[in-house]
Each structure stands twice: as structure tokens, then as C-alpha cells.
Amino acid sequence: MSDEARIKSTRVYTGRVISLDVDQVRFPDGTTGELEIIRHPGASAVVPFVSDLRGADPQVLLLKQYRYATGGTLYEIPAGRLEPGELPEACARRELLEETGCTAESIVPLTSMFTTPGFTDERIHLFLATGLTRGEARREADEFMEIETVALSVALQMVERGEIQDAKTALGLLFAAGFRVGV
């Protein structure tokens, strides 16, 4: 909800990653109600290409990552939460390095998305990375993942078959393919 629609906000919980507010709001028809809103600082995610985008079928890095909330592993692109005052591109570069060990010559914005606008204000900024140089990953203690290199066409088939279920990853791959690579 916009600031004009918020009548009152009560912080119920503050955690390491999220906060929970209960907001009293005025809806567009003039009625009022309460909404539980997860506050999140936002994040960046990056579609990392390890080969030239002009090639026949460019190669992309995917992470096969353990996610407790889903009860297993998911295919994902590198992503992470914005630090206070951090610009989205800087976050994308930091997460690419931490999770894959790669640095990129070029990182360009693709789009931004709301993850689940029914109950959170989280926005993820999506980027495309090229000109990768591999190095050593610097993962956090709770990050368990494997890096896989796949052709973009294979990644798109994985989206179509439902093997890639992470929304930011599916959108990032589809956006890159449809608007940047032209596969």
C-alpha cells in the first residue's frame, strides 16, 4: 500500500531478514482494514552468462541450492538481500562473487519485480552478467549449493518442464532470452 493509504502501522516482529507489520489501511473504495505486511529491504539477482551472447546457444550458470522452506533443492540464479545503502548493481556483483566466485566485466539491468505483492514489499532487481572471470566462491554458512553450467536453451526447457520453480530465476532467464539474447 502507498503511504497515503496507511493509517497506522504496528511492528510485530523484527528479524535478521524480514520484519512483520500489521497496517491499518484505507482501501481504494474508502473502507478500512488490517493487512499483515512482510517488510524486506529488497534484493538483486543476476543471470550470469559464461559464453558470448552472440553464440548459437550461450551458456549460463545456475545454482542448485538447498532451500529449507521448499523441502529440497531449487535451481536458482545468484541472488541476495540488499545491504543498507547498497545499490542494486553492487549487490548483484557481490552476490555473483560470493555464490559463484565470478566477477563480471559487464552487468546490465533487466527488470525489477515484486516477489509476492499480496503480503510483502520485497522487490528484486534482475541483472544480466557477461565477461565472467572465475575465482573462489565466498558462501555464507547457511548456503549449500552446486554450480551447474547449462545452455540457455536447456535452462528454458527446464523452466517449461517445471524443473526451475524459482520465480526470479524463471523470469530472469525468460527476460534475458526474450529481450537480450534472442534465442
Domain assignment of residue 89, yes or no: yes
Q: In this structure, are 136 and 165 located in the same domain?
A: yes
Q: Do the Cβ atoms of 43 and 134 come closer than 8 Å?
A: no
Cα distances (Å, whole numbers) of residue 124 to 36, 79, 98, 145, 182: 20, 9, 18, 20, 23
Q: What is the pLDDT of residue 56?
A: 82
Q: In this structure, are 30 and 112 located in the same domain?
A: no
Question: Could you list the pLDDT tens digit for every one of the 183 residues in the chain?
Answer: 567 899 999 999 999 889 999 999 999 999 999 999 999 999 999 999 998 887 789 999 999 999 989 999 999 999 999 999 999 999 999 999 999 999 999 999 999 999 999 999 999 999 999 999 988 877 676 778 899 999 999 999 999 999 999 999 999 999 999 887 654
Q: What is the pLDDT of residue 2?
A: 66
Domain assignment of residue 1, yes or no: no
Question: How many residues are listed for the chain in this entry?
Answer: 183
d(CA 124, CA 40): 10
Cα distances (Å, whole numbers) of residue 179 to 57, 128, 171, 172, 182: 15, 11, 11, 10, 6
122 among known catalytic residues? no
Domain assignment of residue 154, yes or no: yes
d(CA 106, CA 127): 10
Q: In this structure, are 140 and 175 located in the same domain?
A: yes
Catalytic residue among 4, 143, 146, 160: 143
- Retrieve residue 84's grid coordinates: 543498507
Q: In this structure, are 19 and 47 located in the same domain?
A: no
Q: What is the pLDDT of residue 183?
A: 46
Q: Domain containing 19: what range? A: 6-39
d(CA 117, CA 171): 16
Q: Do the Cβ atoms of 174 and 156 come closer than 8 Å?
A: yes
Phi, psi (5° rounding) for residue 66? -70, 130
Q: What is the pLDDT of residue 75?
A: 97
Number of domains in the chain: 2
